[in-house]
Structures are given as structure tokens and as C-alpha cells.
């Protein structure tokens, strides 16, 4: 799904505290407002409509950077209003918060595929009764996420010095043996957009690491399979990698590739500690793929916060493979793709809409 163009009715301010709209009047929203966001000089709650329909109106007449939505609301007032929110402001950044119940996971994944930037898992209600648990488990991650998304929102449509300074490498690949993709914030929607437009005559296997909790990755794999013509499955330990199949790292495990004695490429699930604060992490996948496939790797870095995947991208390049990245303007956050682009690893930095065509040409050897 391609986001509609931004409303031209007002100029978005790029100064002052990050402006937040909280949607809902639940205990969770009240808790976030009083227990997490109060006292943060760089953040300001400027609107708190009680439901999604009221939020659309407030978004049209208020200058908002980040929306925080509790999906514990009635669905008609929650994620189902995301399309209307993006029609009001296509570039606003939306964070979904909830506990990890089955129904909440389903609704949250729907929201991420609609264009929400991030999901933040809350402790269970019993654990949230202890205010110290909020500060220890939620406040730091949520505040960092809000700040990063707010700054990214303010950069939208403005060419930065970083983006202008990217120097591309010469292309070193003809036809890859494998395509590897790393993604994080905003990644589910970007992945779905790509696979909807990527023809299935591409025979290379595709391996993906997307930063998501365990309950979400099985849902994302099913969504890609259902919404595109591609078969997407969670990787299983010891599974032989097959052509034309998409393998998604399961939440809670690093997905790696090893070569068997007979030369077969197998998936290995690593239950080691988080890497770059992430599990699954992009770096272990890229590093292992570079070792297993050598110069036959085409690695793609999509939208995401942080620098996960930079070391693995360097290994891909050092092995003779190719790295490309999503550009800043089409990324929700240009952290991970920006790191490999600014680090001199990329042969191409592309808008999201141009990535399927690039992958098709590279994978099939087509000239046009």
C-alpha cells in the first residue's frame, strides 16, 4: 500500500519539543501520560482525543509529530482509523502500544502493515502495578522511539547533509545466489510493499531479519504469503534453503546460514544473547550469509532505527557481494539504511518504490 500524499494545508514546524498526540482514555494512555511522558522537556503531549475518529479531526488542525495509539480500544476506534489518519497527514509517525495478547498481536500487525511505524510491548497489568517496572522496562525504549520518530518526521521532504554526502560503490554483482533483507521500524509495511510488486520469476531464496517479537513474526510471514504471490515461512533450524522461498527470522532467534559438508545451505537458529539490542538481529544473518555465499550475496537494508546490519553489510562487501539501501525520504527512520549508506557500503540507495524493479533486474540479469 502506497501512502497518500501529505496534506498541503500547513507547514510542519521543525522546532520545539516533539509534539505527541495520545489516542484514547484508557488506563494505559493515562499511565503513559503521567508515568512516562511527564517531565520530559523534549516531549510535549499536545492532544489527547478519546477515540480514533476524534483523532483524525485533531490531526487536521494540530501540528503533530508522533501519535501513540492504544489498541485496547474498540477496533473501530483504533487501528481501523489508521488510513484516515494517514489521509490527514501521510507523514505522521504512529506508535502502537499494547500487551501481547493474541487479539492485540493480530490488531497490532494489521496496524504495522497499514503504516504504523513501531509497536511497543507493555508489561502485563499485574506487572505495571509496580511503577518501577514501568520506568525500567518501558520508559527508556518508548522515549527513545518517540524522539527518533519525531526527528525523522521533521526531516521528511528535507534533503539532509548526510543523504547528500552518500558516495556509492561500483556494482560488483551480476546475478546473486541469495537476497538478504534487514529491516526494523516501518519494516513490515515496506516488506509487504516490495513483495506485492516483486515477480515470482526470481528464483533466488530471500532471507529476512525484521525486528519483531516472537508472536509477530509468524503473523508477518502469513501476511506476506497471503498478500503477495510469494511463499514466506519462518526459518527452521536445520532446514535446507530452497530457491524461490522467503525465510523470515523467527522472533527470539538469530537466523544464520551455514554450508553443509555436501555444499547445501542450511538455516541455523541461534539462541544466543541479543546483538545490537535486537533478537533477531540483522548482523548475524548478514555475517553468516557472506561466509556461506561469498560474492553471490545481494543485501538490502530497509527502514529502521540504529545501526544493526552495518557490520554484516561490511562483511558482505568484503566478500565481494553487493549492498543496497532504502533512501532517507521513503524510510520511516533512516538509521540502519543510513548507516550502511553513509559508511560507503552501498552500490545503490533507492526510494522504496524503485526497490522491486532493482531486485528483479539484479536477480534475473535483465537490462530493463
Known catalytic residues are: 184, 211, 308
54-60 long-range contacts, CB within 8 A, separation 24+: 55/21, 55/23, 55/81, 55/85, 56/81, 56/84, 56/85, 56/88, 58/21, 59/21, 59/85, 59/88, 59/89, 59/92, 60/7, 60/9, 60/88, 60/89
DSSP calls for 128-176: HTSHHHHIIIIIHHHHHHHHHHHHHHHHTT---HHHHT--PPPP--SS-
Place of cell 504469503: 225
Closest CA to 3 of 179, 201, 189: 189
Helices and strands (H and E) in the chain: how many: 14, 14
Residue 20's DSSP bridge partners are: 45, 66
Amino acid at each position: 500500500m502506497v501512502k497518500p500524499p501529505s496534506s498541503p494545508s500547513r507547514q510542519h514546524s521543525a522546532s520545539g519539543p516533539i509534539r505527541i498526540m495520545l489516542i484514547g482514555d484508557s488506563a494505559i494512555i493515562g499511565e503513559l501520560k503521567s508515568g512516562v511522558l511527564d517531565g520530559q522537556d523534549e516531549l510535549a503531549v499536545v492532544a489527547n482525543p478519546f477515540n480514533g475518529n476524534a483523532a483524525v479531526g485533531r490531526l487536521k488542525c494540530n501540528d503533530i509529530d508522533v501519535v501513540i495509539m492504544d489498541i485496547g480500544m474498540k477496533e473501530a476506534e483504533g487501528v481501523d482509523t489508521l488510513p484516515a489518519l494517514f489521509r490527514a497527514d501521510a507523514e505522521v509517525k504512529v506508535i502502537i502500544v499494547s500487551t501481547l495478547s493474541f487479539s492485540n498481536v493480530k490488531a497490532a500487525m494489521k496496524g504495522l502493515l497499514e503504516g504504523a511505524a513501531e509497536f511497543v510491548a507493555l508489561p502485563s497489568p499485574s506487572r505495571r502495578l509496580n511503577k518501577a517496572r514501568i520506568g525500567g522496562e518501558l520508559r527508556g525504549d518508548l522515549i527513545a522511539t518517540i524522539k527518533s520518530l519525531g526527528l525523522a518526521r521533521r526531516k521528511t521532504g528535507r534533503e539532509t547533509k548526510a543523504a547528500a554526502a552518500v558516495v556509492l560503490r561500483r556494482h560488483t554483482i551480476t546475478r546473486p545466489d541469495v537476497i538478504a533483507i534487514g529491516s526494523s521500524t516501518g519494516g513490515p509495511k515496506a516488506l509487504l510493499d516490495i513483495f506485492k510488486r516483486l515477480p515470482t520469476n526470481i528464483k533466488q531464496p530471500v532471507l529476512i531479519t525484521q525486528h519483531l517479537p516472537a508472536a509477530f513474526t509468524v503473523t508477518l510471514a502469513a501476511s506476506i504469503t497471503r498478500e503477495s504471490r510469494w511463499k514466506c515461512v519462518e526459518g527452521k533450524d536445520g532446514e535446507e534453503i530452497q530457491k524461490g522461498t522467503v525465510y523470515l527470522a523467527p522472533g527470539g532467534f538469530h537466523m544464520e546460514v551455514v554450508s553443509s559438508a555436501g555444499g547445501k545451505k542450511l538455516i541455523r537458529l541461534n539462541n544466543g544473547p541479543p546483538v545490537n539490542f535486537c533478537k533477531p538481529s540483522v548482523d548475524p544473518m548478514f555475517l553468516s550469509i557472506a561466509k556461506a555465499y561469498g560474492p553471490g550475496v545481494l543485501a538490502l537494508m530497509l527502514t529502521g532505527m540504529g545501526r544493526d546490519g552495518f557490520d554484516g553489510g561490511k562483511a558482505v562487501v568484503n566478500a565481494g557481494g553487493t549492498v543496497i539501501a532504502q533512501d532517507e525520504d521513503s524510510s520511516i527512520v533512516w538509521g540502519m539504511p543510513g548507516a550502511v549508506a553513509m559508511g560507503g557500503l552501498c552500490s545503490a540507495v533507492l526510494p522504496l518504490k524503485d526497490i522491486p524493479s532493482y531486485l528483479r533486474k539484479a536477480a534475473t540479469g535483465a537490462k530493463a
